[in-house]
Amino acid sequence: MCRLCTAKSPRWVSRRAFMLAAGAVVAGPAVSQVDVGGSSPLRSLVPATEIEQVAAKEYGELLQKARAKGALANEGNAQLRRLRSISSRLIADAPRWNPRARQWRWEVNLIGSDSVNAFCMPGGKIAVFTGLIEKLRATDDELAMVVGHEIAHALREHARERIAKSQGTGALLSLGAQLFGLGQLGDVAADIGTQLLTLKFSRDDEIEADLVGLEMGARAGFDPQASISLWDKMARVSGAGGGPAFLSTHPSGPDRMRRLAENIPRVQGLYRQAMGNR
């Protein structure tokens, strides 16, 4: 996910857990209908497997805290079943954008909170807050656009690039040596968490996540027009006072909606094909 603001998130959710949701692994060029860039060579300086290990630990702690608060949806929860059904269709196409996604141990969970938020951690660790579903009255198509956007950030390794650029090559080479066994993993994990605390994705990262998420949704049989209605609802919720946490790092506005609208025709054929195969 993008760097998520925790001001409106449950107090028991650590900032580092949210920041790790921005992480990703080795991404390669995909055969797509939208224009996405290639993978930055800087990303290779931050080992993907170690970031995934840190993220898995943080995700597990997050779920443990949610469970202790009675906020973690159980397996029989209807909204969780709905979320997992939507996510599974998106996940099926994830290797198109990142071959490593085949190895990820995907998890999808629903957390009870008024926060309008969602994220995907490295290794396919997805969580959605009930506030996003309920306050937006999100349809399946709209929810797919949110989850697809967050998955796209992970698949396109935006966090690894941000970390690489922020630390500098020399520091990253040292970090890489530590991660490969020449230092203490716990210390390095804390360092990664610190980096992610100040992580903010670029405008290009946001654009790419929008477009990749749009195509993923279309290929999975979700109406791409929902990308427009989703951001319209986000703007309405924001105008109602305070604004959702999601918008703190997912700026809305005419440019975003215009760009999505321009790209919808490029993926309509994929959507129709997916609907025809269902």
Q: Is-contact 110 73, C-beta < 8 A?
A: yes
The mean pLDDT value for 85-114 works out to: 95
Q: How far apart are CA 106 and CA 17, in angstroms?
A: 16
Is 70 exceeded by the pLDDT of residue 50?
Answer: yes
Mean pLDDT score across all residues of the chain: 76
CA angle 107, 180, 174 (to 5 degrees): 115
pLDDT recorded at residue 120? 85
Is residue 150 annotated as a catalytic residue, yes or no? yes
Domain ranges of the chain: 15-27+40-276
pLDDT recorded at residue 24? 35
Is 50 exceeded by the pLDDT of residue 77?
Answer: yes
The mean pLDDT value for 112-138 works out to: 91
pLDDT recorded at residue 181? 42
Which of the four pLDDT bands, split at 50, 70 and 90, describes residue 13? low
pLDDT recorded at residue 27? 37
Euclidean distance between the first and final Cα of the chain, in Å?
29
Q: Where are the alpha helices (DSSP H) in the chain?
A: 15-20, 48-68, 78-91, 130-136, 140-155, 158-167, 169-177, 185-197, 203-219, 226-239, 254-276
Is 60 exceeded by the pLDDT of residue 182?
Answer: no
pLDDT recorded at residue 255? 84
Active-site residue (options: 150, 157, 161, 206): 150
Is 60 exceeded by the pLDDT of residue 269?
Answer: yes
Is 70 exceeded by the pLDDT of residue 245?
Answer: no
